Structure 1
Amino acid sequence: MSSAGSDRASYGPSFHEPLKFAYWVPNVSGGLVVSKIEQRTDWGYDYNVKLAQLAENNGFDYALSQVRYIASYGAAYQHESTAFSLALTLATERLKVIAAIHPGLWQPGVLAKWIATADQITGGRMAINVVSGWFKDEFTKLGEPWLEHGERYRRSEEFIRYVREIWTSDNAEFNGDFYNLHDFDLKPKPVITDSRPHPEIFMGGNSTDARGMGGRVTDWYFANGNTPEGIHEQIRDVTDVATVHGRIVKFGVNGFLIGRDTEAAARDVLREIVDKADREAVEGFGAAVKQAGQSTGDKKGMWQDSEFADLVQYNDGFRTGLIGTPEQIATRMIEYKKLGVNLFLLGFLHYHEDVEYFGREILPLVRELEAAELERV
């Protein structure tokens, strides 16, 4: 355990809040690993409706609908994220759904209107994940310009400021380098709830640009899978920026969860996933994301220190270490929570079975450990 995790004084007020859980919606074919291993997971609507209902009843707070616009790296088919997110909320009662969206492919006022309507329909259960973009072909093949790394994040920050302004102001104004908004009154606006003044805004990243943007404008910062030390560094950097701007940002961490009754059985599954990796697709994905990240000035872009086995799971989910028995996984999650992690964004091999296993075997242990830790401190 890192020194930060073992320091009782480092526990913030957020430690008293129960860990939240989200799952990657498999609305893209190929599952969550770039491997030829059997996956009893399907990208279709009917499968995902059942999954959303299972997740809602097994402790999940959020579902993140990913977005791909063209076939790439083992993902031949893709359902669009905002429409799919709305469909899943209509099939559930409490689950909040986060739609991944790309500035540059969405005009922010149109996106804001779409989400506001969906939020009204669902009683305040919509959110967005702003993706600055790593896949050049998605832009250029649609005829849109591909900006360099820092400019993509500058555009995303303007996008977020614009969307928040139009959601919360009656005579919205915004003047930027990429977007402008003039005396605009969006009606109806999104639902205001006790837990949020507008749909929550998530983003993911690792670079210095991403950390700065997260601290300045987002509600949540998603980190790729990483060690406790790697996550602690990002939480510190984003929090430092947020503090300067008088803000509070919450943190989510990506993790691919393999829970089995024995550690050996879980490790065997991981070994088979990697052994059966689609090497051509993994290497193509690795080349694309590393090229995108290397365009950063300090080479801190996402995936820059990822190895082949890490890239078999798109967002470095193996590196978080949620692989083993229920007791091992629950203990690992509490270690991250002590560092300031508020949420785990989880992927699975066989979604229906693994989500039920999580709710039955792992989540109760997490809650027991949370209660015990709070009593201890």
Structure 2
Amino acid sequence: MLSKNTFQLGLFALNCSNGMTMTKAPERWQNTWDNNVHAAQLADEAGLEFLLPVGRWKGYGGETNSQRSNFEPITWATGILGQTKHIRVFSTTHCALIHPVFAAKQMTTADHVGHGRFGLNIVAGWNASEFSMFGVSLKEHDDRYAYAQEWIDVVKKVWHEPELFDHHGDFFDLVGVEGHPAPVEEPVIMSAGSSAKGSAFAARNADALFMVINDLESLATQVAEVKGKNPGRKFGVFASSHLVCRPTRLEAEDYYRYIVDEMGDWEAADNMAAGRLTAQSSTAEQLQQHEMKRRNIAGSGTWPVVGSYDDVVDMYARLSESGLQGVAVGLVNYIDEFPHLRDEVLPRMERRGLRLPFSIDD
């Protein structure tokens, strides 16, 4: 979808305070614009494929109130595209909170700023308290995807229809719509949703699904099922993750225990677990498990990749063998932790055949 690399990497959620963590560790991510640009340029110069922000509007409470400070994703992507040269920059966009004609124009503008490097991660939403900020009711789960389908249909018409058009649907009644200029290139579309409806929506409309990993044993079957929903299409499957790596496994595990067990914000983790019941990507029982709440603290419930540099590459190889095309990576601090990824993990991935060497002149 993004490059010729067997296993692709991006940074996840750097547009929010604490990034993906709910830790009180003083070195946690500070969401300033300068920090965002610095981290984005590090990823760009190292040859990572993408940057993926979180669509967030309020924090999770607790002592850290993680993600309370957040940059709006389309505006953020436009600014980051202007500060980078190679990397694809996504916007995670809640379709229920923004009109499709307005969104299509915003995203076209971003794509021109980035000379064709903009990507859309379309999400139907799950956080009822955030929707209340907009005076919008969170629809029943399956109805969210009916709305999302009409929304993306309108967006694509705005991008590609050369003449004025009308649209009369269940959710939008539009007359005399036009949207010049067109995007530089068709934006890559990703859709985040691990429910049956969510993955089916992605298979119909997107270039890739962004999924949650619940366990490794069933992952290959899940990926195959998603790809089988729309045979004949080029379709990638990516997943969310968080990374703690050090020279030795013991060092990585000790640091993981420090950010989670010693410095974790358990109240915020409880709040996330309660809110995510509406997402239907995990069961109520799974969300209340102690280990899942540890994952919430370390990486917003995403898959943990913790260990030595060789351990990390072994895990990425296993995820690749299961059919994943890549992962979005959360770090405790996207600047301070990045050298572990750039200087140690990437060269090992190249030696394993998971990635190709990258030059900023490519």
Counterpart in the other structure of 2:267: 280
Q: Deviations over 1:121-177 (max 9, x none)?
A: 220111111121111011122211221111112211222222223222324565432
Residues 257 and 322 of structure 1 are in contact (CA less than 8 Å); yes or no, is this contact kept in structure 2?
A: yes
Alpha-carbon separation, structure 1, partners of 2:3 and 2:122: 26
Alpha-carbon separation, structure 2, partners of 1:369 and 1:266: 22
**Deviation of the 1:250 alpha carbon:** 0.7
Give the total of aligned pairs: 345
Residues 128 and 138 of structure 2 are in contact (CA less than 8 Å); yes or no, is this contact kept in structure 1?
A: yes
Alpha-carbon separation, structure 1, partners of 2:12 and 2:114: 20
Which stretches in structure 2 are left out of the alignment for 5+ residues?
356-362
Alpha-carbon separation, structure 2, partners of 1:178 and 1:314: 35
1:124 counterpart (79, 91, 116): 116
Q: Which one is further off, 156-165 or 100-109?
A: 156-165
Residues 224 and 302 of structure 1 are in contact (CA less than 8 Å); yes or no, is this contact kept in structure 2?
A: no
Q: Could you tell me the TM-score, scaled by structure 2's length? A: 0.88
How does 1:28-39 map onto structure 2 within 5 Å?
Answer: 28-39=16-27
Residues 226 and 316 of structure 1 are in contact (CA less than 8 Å); yes or no, is this contact kept in structure 2?
A: no
Alpha-carbon separation, structure 2, partners of 1:370 and 1:351: 25
Alpha-carbon separation, structure 2, partners of 1:181 and 1:102: 20
Alpha-carbon separation, structure 2, partners of 1:86 and 1:344: 22
Query: Does the residue aligned with 1:100 lie in a helix, a strand or coil?
Result: strand
Counterpart in the other structure of 2:294: 309
Residues 47 and 87 of structure 2 are in contact (CA less than 8 Å); yes or no, is this contact kept in structure 1?
A: no
Alpha-carbon separation, structure 2, partners of 1:191 and 1:271: 46
RMSD between aligned residues: 2.4
Counterpart in the other structure of 2:335: 352
Q: Deviations over 1:160-202 (max 9, x none)?
A: 222223222324565432234556442110012xxxxx11111
Query: Does the residue aligned with 1:305 lie in a helix, a strand or coil?
Result: helix
Structure 1 position 100 matched with structure 2 position 92: yes
Residues 314/132 of structure 1: CA separation in 2 closer, same or farther (3 Å cut): farther
Residues 119 and 191 of structure 1 are in contact (CA less than 8 Å); yes or no, is this contact kept in structure 2?
A: yes
Alpha-carbon separation, structure 2, partners of 1:175 and 1:366: 50
How does 1:1-377 map onto structure 2 within 5 Å?
Answer: 17-73=5-61, 74=65, 75-171=67-163, 174-181=167-174, 184-192=177-185, 198-243=186-231, 246-275=232-261, 276-290=263-277, 292-293=278-279, 301=282, 305-306=286-287, 307-317=292-302, 319=303, 321-370=304-353
Residues 2 and 49 of structure 2 are in contact (CA less than 8 Å); yes or no, is this contact kept in structure 1?
A: no
Question: Which one-letter code corresponds to 2:129 in the other structure?
Answer: D
**Deviation of the 1:102 alpha carbon:** 0.6
Query: Does the residue aligned with 1:190 lie in a helix, a strand or coil?
Result: coil
Residues 302/121 of structure 1: CA separation in 2 closer, same or farther (3 Å cut): farther
**Deviation of the 1:212 alpha carbon:** 1.1
Query: Does the residue aligned with 1:312 lie in a helix, a strand or coil?
Result: helix
Which stretches in structure 1 are left out of the alignment for 5+ residues?
1-12, 193-197, 295-299, 373-377
Query: Does the residue aligned with 1:330 lie in a helix, a strand or coil?
Result: helix
Q: Deviations over 1:249-275 (max 9, x none)?
A: 211111111110000000111111221
**Deviation of the 1:277 alpha carbon:** 1.5
**Deviation of the 1:232 alpha carbon:** 2.0
Residues 15 and 338 of structure 1 are in contact (CA less than 8 Å); yes or no, is this contact kept in structure 2?
A: no
Alpha-carbon separation, structure 1, partners of 2:169 and 2:282: 25
**Deviation of the 1:352 alpha carbon:** 1.0
Query: Does the residue aligned with 1:42 lie in a helix, a strand or coil?
Result: coil
Alpha-carbon separation, structure 2, partners of 1:238 and 1:175: 31
Residues 34 and 282 of structure 1 are in contact (CA less than 8 Å); yes or no, is this contact kept in structure 2?
A: yes
Give me the identity figure in percent.
24
Q: Deviations over 1:217-261 (max 9, x none)?
A: 111111124433343233122112111xx4232111111111100
**Deviation of the 1:100 alpha carbon:** 0.9
Counterpart in the other structure of 1:195: none
Question: Which one-letter code corresponds to 2:79 in the other structure?
Answer: A
Alpha-carbon separation, structure 2, partners of 1:91 and 1:16: 24
Residues 166 and 176 of structure 2 are in contact (CA less than 8 Å); yes or no, is this contact kept in structure 1?
A: yes
